[in-house]
Amino acid sequence: MTTKIEISGVGKTFPVRGGGAFTALRDTTLDIAEGEFLVVVGPSGCGKSTLLDLLGGLTRPTTGRILLDGAEITGPALDRGVVFQQYALLPWRSALRNVEFGLEAKGLGRRERAETARHYLDLVGLSGFEDRYPHELSGGMKQRVAIARSLAYDPGVLLMDEPFAALDAQTRDSLQDELLRIWERTGKTVVFITHGIDEAVYLGGRVAVLTSRPGRVKEVVDIDLGPRHETEDLRSSPEFAEHRHRVWSLLRDEVRAARRLDVPRPRREAVGLG
């Protein structure tokens, strides 16, 4: 197993307006193997997006370091593709031209760009929609374009921050299958953040559960369900339920802890202690 990403003792602190600091992540350590599909879950506000931003190089860790292929991540680069919950498409460009966007940065010629963009739109099931503008596409289609755009410049790592959260359940299920198919075909390393336990278990080869804030890795659960397309209605199987329960129990305790953090502490005099 080759390590693709090495997260060692990473902490992230943000300055707070009016003084002080807020710790979003503390001492987070995790190795991600080349070609694995790793899902990250955790209570709201525990630092999942912060972790993804760090992997994307959009911010730098306050402590610790993150290595990609043995070299420290110091900024965004084309070796990592990022897909967010909101499609982030350029509204004035057609689907094809949106996918071509990253290829322009790579310096590809016009014809090669168009061919590559067509190939990736086909891969995400959007052949025939190349000339549509974002406002002419459904939410699921827009997200497919965003995925095609990230895949087109062939990054080794795909970073996905709740990419299907805004979609209806049916579209989400079919995009999950499509993503797994693409992952199997391309062998990319995927780091996928979600709030959905079912989604985590369905997609992940491993699921990392983070603690309530400041986030740390509480446990990494191995999901040994084999290739997902080999079992019909896998989500209804006892094995799936077992894994789901394991992740759910780990998360439940953290969600409770997070809620306690969110309740404003009563002032001493208000409860008669002062």
**Chosen residue from 33, 35, 45, 228 binding ligand ATP by CB under 6 A:** 45
Residue at token pair 């090495």 = 6
Give the nearer residue to ligand ATP in terms of CB position, either 45 or 64: 45
**Whose Cβ is closer to ligand ATP: residue 10's or residue 123's?**
10
User: Does 42 engage in binding with ligand ATP (CB under 6 A)?
Assistant: yes
Q: How far is CA 101 from CA 67, 119, 127, 154, 259, in A?
A: 27, 14, 18, 13, 42
**What's the half-sphere exposure (Cβ side, CA atoms, 13 Å) at 79?**
12
**48 touching ligand ATP, by CB under 6 A:** yes
Rounded Cα–Cα distance for residues 60 and 273 (Å)? 43
Binding of ligand ATP at residue 216 (CB under 6 A)? no
Under a CB-based contact definition with an 8 Å cutoff, are residues 189 and 7 in contact?
A: no
Residues 123-152, mask of contacts with ligand ATP (x by CB under 6 A): ------------------------------
How many other C-beta atoms can be found within 10 angstroms of the C-beta atom of residue 203? 24
Q: Does 24 bind ligand ATP (CB under 6 A)?
A: yes
200 sits in which H/E element: helix 197-203
Q: Candidates 5, 7, 36, 47: give the one binding ligand ATP (CB under 6 A).
A: 47
Stretch that binds ligand ATP, among 26-34, 47-55, 69-77, 184-192 (CB under 6 A): 47-55
Q: Quickly list DSSP for 214-231.
A: SB-EEEEEE-----GGGS
For position 14 contacting ligand ATP by CB under 6 A, the verdict is yes
When asked if residue 11 is in the footprint of ligand ATP (CB under 6 A), the reply is no
131, two tokens:
């000339």
Using alpha carbons only, what angle is made at residue 96 by residues 100 and 103, rounded to the nearest 5 degrees? 10
Nearer to ligand ATP, 12 or 118 (CB): 12
49 lines the binding site for ligand ATP (CB under 6 A): yes
CA distances from 96 to 81, 83, 136, 250 (A): 17, 17, 13, 42
What is the largest distance, in Å, between two alpha-carbon atoms of the chain? 75
Q: Of these, 9, 21, 22, 29, which contacts ligand ATP (CB under 6 A)?
A: 22
Which residue is it, tokens 């997609």? 203
Task: CB nearer to ligand ATP: give 55 or 157.
Answer: 55
Stretch that binds ligand ATP, among 38-46, 64-72, 183-191, 217-225 (CB under 6 A): 38-46
Q: Which stretch binds ligand ATP (CB under 6 A): 28-36, 41-49, 128-136, 196-204?
A: 41-49
Site residues (vs ligand ATP, CB under 6 A): 14, 22, 24, 42, 44-50, 213
